[in-house]
Chains A and B, each alone.
Chain A
Amino acid sequence: MIELNQVVKAFEQEKAVDGVTMHIHKGSIYGLLGSNGAGKTSLLKMMAGIYRQDSGTVRIEDHEIYENMDLKGRTIFMADAPYFFPQSSITQMAAFYRSVYPRWNDERFKQLATVFKLDVKRKLHRMSKGMRRQAAVWLGLSCMPEVLLMDEPIDGLDPVMRQQIKNLLFQEAAERQVTIVISSHNLREIEDLCDHVAIMHKGRIIVEKDLDDLKADTHKIQVAFRHPDHAKAMDKQIDILHEEKRGSVSLYIVKGNRQQVTEQFRIHDPYLLDVLPLTLEEIFIYEMEDAGYDIQPIVL
């Protein structure tokens, strides 16, 4: 269980994280989404105890993580660009991890060799970006963490490896109740991977929810009303996130229970009524628009 309470972190005048409160359940796979520079990495680094928050609390299993050796021994942070010592190989890095992480498991390291088919003697700086990423996951999982914080973990991996790593993460969550937090821009990946998501913007959390609930209570509605007055009446009755008109067909993005929303539209007996669930990408864009970060038509 990771608990953040009113966490603030500023660099110079810039507030990177501005009053974030969130709860992440044990065994959950939690997706952290956000615009560029929203503060995702800063937030992850505070959960890892790398940064110290200016105010608020960051607690894992009811203990502050900052400068907490015991807790940090059970927490793995994977940076967006994996770091290895200069000129080192996987074997050498494994020796270092073994000396630092008390829960390091040699058995597991060997088992995982069947998944990651990397040459352990080859120097890491001569490997490709994707291979270095694999090495980081391999080393990280061999430490038997209870908390796994991953910054853009899927970046640079081929489709087969993605699937493999996803499967590994699912097993970690199911069998060992590992809490996994993943930040990403790739919404498709998050959609398949996570059970909870939070959307960040300018250091704040805009939405935090069970992914399925989020998808279940936001709908895309295409409707052609019989009379323009019918459209006006809708505004008062439902929670509209976004509205667009294309000729006689209107597009609404609406929050609420699917059945109730559909009924509201149906009473007007429109010519056309289509109710679709949203993809995470659409939810992200419309929620961002609501927060004042929208797509402007670009003319250069």
Chain B
Amino acid sequence: MFELDVRSRKAIYEQLVDKVKEMIVYGILKPDEQLPSVRALSTQLTVNPNTIQKAYRELEREGYIYSLQGKGSFVSSSVEHPNEAMRDEIRESLVKLIAEASYSGLTKADMTLLFEEAMARIEKEEPHD
């Protein structure tokens, strides 16, 4: 269920934390759904169990998951929106992309048009918003 990039410079536990957050935010993991056990995930991904334990601890600290003694880890029900750190990251990559777009010759008008198109598409997909 998780794909890790072993070539990435990012630490494996960080990748795991981000993956789980993403899946929670996008609703792939539902509230109160059980996460795979540390042992199962360790075998499945060939990742050090202590690394997985650490990722789960971090997720719990940030409130994305909760754990029940002897039962395992579960998705918290209160998570709805990406947190501030995630927004910062997205902001950063957006700025980078915009800079690249402008170097490659896209004008401000082009980008504004793209932005509006994208927003219109998102709004159509989510009528409740």
Please indicate the chain A residues that have their CB under 8 angstroms from the CB of B29 in the complex.
none
B50 touches A278 (CB 8 A): no
Provided the pairs A167-B43, A171-B42 are in contact, do residues A193 and B9 lie with their beta carbons within 8 angstroms?
no
Minimum distance in angstroms from A152 CB to a CB of chain B: 19
Choice from B6, B9, B14, B38 contacting A174 with Cβ under 8 Å = B38
- Rounded to whole angstroms, the CA-CA distance of A192 and B13 in the bound complex is 11
* Contacts of A259-300 to chain B: CB distance below 8 A: 276-279
- Rounded to whole angstroms, the CA-CA distance of A175 and B50 in the bound complex is 11
CB of B71 within 8 Å of the partner chain: no
Interface string of B26-58 (1 = CB under 8 A from A): 000000000000110011001111110010000
Please indicate the chain B residues that have their CB under 8 angstroms from the CB of A277 in the complex.
9-11
CB of A29 within 8 Å of the partner chain: yes
Q: How many residues of A contact B (CB 8 A)?
A: 23
Provided the pairs A174-B38, A277-B11 are in contact, do residues A195 and B51 lie with their beta carbons within 8 angstroms?
yes
- Rounded to whole angstroms, the CA-CA distance of A104 and B49 in the bound complex is 25
A192 touches B12 (CB 8 A): yes
Q: Name B8's closest neighbour in chain A (CB-CB).
A: A277
Minimum distance in angstroms from B64 CB to a CB of chain A: 18
A29 touches B48 (CB 8 A): yes
Q: Name A274's closest neighbour in chain B (CB-CB).
A: B96
Interface of A is mostly: helix
- Rounded to whole angstroms, the CA-CA distance of A195 and B50 in the bound complex is 7
Interface string of A148-175 (1 = CB under 8 A from B): 0000000000000001001100110111
Please indicate the chain A residues that have their CB under 8 angstroms from the CB of B47 in the complex.
170, 192
- Rounded to whole angstroms, the CA-CA distance of A277 and B54 in the bound complex is 19
B50 touches A27 (CB 8 A): yes
B50 touches A167 (CB 8 A): no
- Rounded to whole angstroms, the CA-CA distance of A171 and B42 in the bound complex is 8
CB of A239 within 8 Å of the partner chain: no
- Rounded to whole angstroms, the CA-CA distance of A193 and B46 in the bound complex is 9
A173 touches B49 (CB 8 A): yes
Question: B residues engaging A (CB < 8 A)?
Answer: 6, 9-14, 38-39, 42-43, 46-51, 54
Top 5 nearest A-B pairs by Cβ distance?
Answer: A174-B49, A195-B50, A277-B9, A215-B11, A212-B11
Question: A residues engaging B (CB < 8 A)?
Answer: 27-29, 163, 166-167, 170-171, 173-175, 192-195, 211-212, 215-216, 276-279
Q: Give 8 CB contacts A-B under 8 Å.
A: A27-B50, A163-B46, A167-B43, A174-B42, A195-B50, A212-B13, A212-B14, A279-B9
